[in-house]
Amino acid sequence: MIERTAFPPPERDLPERDLPECDVPDRLLAVRAAEGDEDSFAVLVRRHGRQLLALARCMLGNPQDAEEAVQDAFVSAWRRLPEYRHSAEFRTWLYRITVNRCLTMRRRRPPPLSLNTVVEPAAGNAWSQPARSAEQDAATAALTRALAELDDGQRVCWILREVQGLPYKEIAHVTRTSEPTVRGRLFRARRSLQEAMGPWR
């Protein structure tokens, strides 16, 4: 039985092109994995690990927490493979498990800092590289804090759309909502972020 430590961090995995089964569809690999084929599941881990890690990093803001969330998500997926009914893409199913794990971890952490604590844009010579670098770092920190201020539904939809590039239909499947709900959450998230990032435009 696969344990949590059986999965190396996704960013250390071999490139998908080096795998002999790289052309096998996810659904077939999932069927094989559900029958106990650990090699097939390892292909799925390599195939989707980096995207899930990027998602978790955006949601949690901490590389160590993100790695833990993805590891736990893969272990959960392995154990729940018999529940996968192929009604959605396997990737969508993995995204849903990872999002739920990240939300659980977020709820166990202290509340985020207020946007009032965001550092103001760096002053000085606009052509100064250190000043530009400092301003960029501060803007990134401001965006991170602004994302943390969004409610969970808005944050998840924004990350899945703007960072992961998922279509509205797939986001709706991941979040177990409808496309109009996804669009509404994205509209509110974008409006909130636009207001929060006003000083940096």
- pLDDT at res. 98: 96
Q: What is the pLDDT of residues 146-172, one digit of tens each?
A: 888 889 999 999 999 999 999 999 999
**Mean pLDDT (whole number) for 163-192:** 95
In whole angstroms, what is the distance from residue 145 CA to residue 96 CA? 23
Q: What share of the chain has pLDDT > 90, as a percent? A: 52
Q: Where are the alpha helices (DSSP H) in the chain?
A: 26-34, 38-60, 63-79, 90-107, 129-149, 152-158, 168-175, 179-196
Pair 61, 34: CB distance under 8 Å:
no
Please, which residues have CB within 8 angstroms of residue 154's CB and are 6 or more apart in sequence?
185, 186, 188, 189, 192
- For residue 86, name the pLDDT band (cuts at 50, 70, 90): confident
Q: What is the pLDDT of residues 91-136, one digit of tens each?
A: 999 999 999 999 999 888 754 443 343 344 444 444 456 666 666 6
Structure-token pair, residue 155:
């944050």
- Radius of gyration of the CA atoms of the chain, in A: 19
**181 burial level (CB within 10 Å; 0-12, 13-18, 19+):** middle
* pTM score: 0.73
Is the pLDDT confidence value at 3 over 60? no
Residue with the bigger pLDDT between 161 and 16: it is 161
